[in-house]
């Protein structure tokens, strides 16, 4: 299995090739596009429990749900502490249970299209520009291609 460094390296090569074809003049859009391409090149491995993408998402879910428990139970501190205790004990098992199998749904062309649509929509709403979505899509495809040829 190629590790995240391999995916980032090939993501970088794809970025250079794509930038040569579609140069972006606006430095902010260029930075966002590069960021989206690198996120796209790592995102499919969100289905692997030892990947950086999975660990980052897992930690984000644990932090956000902890904040949700604290905010929603701020008037009942004993219940809040109990819920946080239960959440910290069970979070890993719940998240692993919900994780799709490795190289399943997140490693398909269909999921790369969904990634393209979601990123492009967010980028268009924020900047009236879909370049970050297109670059993210290319990063996502680079991941699937590298996994298929098993470098």
Q: Is the dihedral of CA 121, 122, 128, 132 positive or negative?
A: negative
Q: What is the DSSP letter of 101?
A: P
Q: Does 70 bind Zn ion (CB under 5 A)?
A: no
Write b or e for each residue in 9-39: b if 16 or more Cβ atoms lie within 10 A of its Cβ, otherwise e.
bbbbebbeebeeeeebeeeebbebbbebbbb
Helix (H, G, I), strand (E, B) or coil at 128: coil
Supply the minimum distance, in Å, between the C-beta of residue 151 and Zn ion.
Answer: 11
Integer Cα distance of 148 and 120 in angstroms: 25
Identity of the residue, 9 or 147, whose beta carbon is nearer to Zn ion in the bound complex: 147
Q: Give the binding range for Zn ion (CB under 5 A) out of 34-42, 45-53, 86-94, 125-133.
A: 45-53
Q: What is the four-CA torsion angle of 80, 83, 87, 89, rounded to 10 degrees?
A: 110
Under the criterion CB under 5 A, does residue 147 sit at the interface with Zn ion? yes
**The only residue of 45, 115, 130, 142 in contact with Zn ion, by rule CB under 5 A:** 45
In whole angstroms, the minimum distance from the beta carbon of 44 to Zn ion comes to 5
Closest approach, Cβ 42 to Zn ion, in A, equals 9
Nearer to Zn ion, 28 or 100 (CB): 100
The count of chain residues that interact with Zn ion, using the rule CB under 5 A, is: 3
Under rule CB under 5 A, residue 102 binds Zn ion: no
Q: Which is nearer to Zn ion, 39 or 123 (CB)?
A: 39
List interacting residues with Zn ion (CB under 5 A). 44-45, 147
């Amino acid at each position: 299995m190629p590790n995240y460094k391999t995916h980032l390296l090939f993501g970088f090569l794809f970025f250079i090739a794509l930038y040569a074809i579609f140069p972006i003049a606006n430095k902010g859009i260029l930075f966002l596009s590069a960021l989206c391409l690198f996120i796209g090149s790592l995102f499919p491995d969100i289905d692997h429990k030892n990947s950086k993408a999975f660990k980052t998402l897992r930690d984000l879910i644990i932090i956000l749900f902890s904040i949700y428990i604290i905010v929603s139970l701020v008037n009942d501190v004993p219940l809040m502490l109990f819920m946080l205790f239960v959440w910290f004990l069970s979070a890993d098992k719940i998240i692993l249970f919900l994780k799709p199998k490795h190289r399943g749904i997140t490693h398909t062309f269909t999921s790369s299209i969904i990634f393209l649509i979601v990123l492009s929509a967010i980028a268009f709403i924020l900047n009236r520009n879909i370049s970050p979505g297109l670059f993210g899509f290319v990063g996502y495809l680079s991941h699937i291609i590298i996994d298929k040829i098993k470098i």
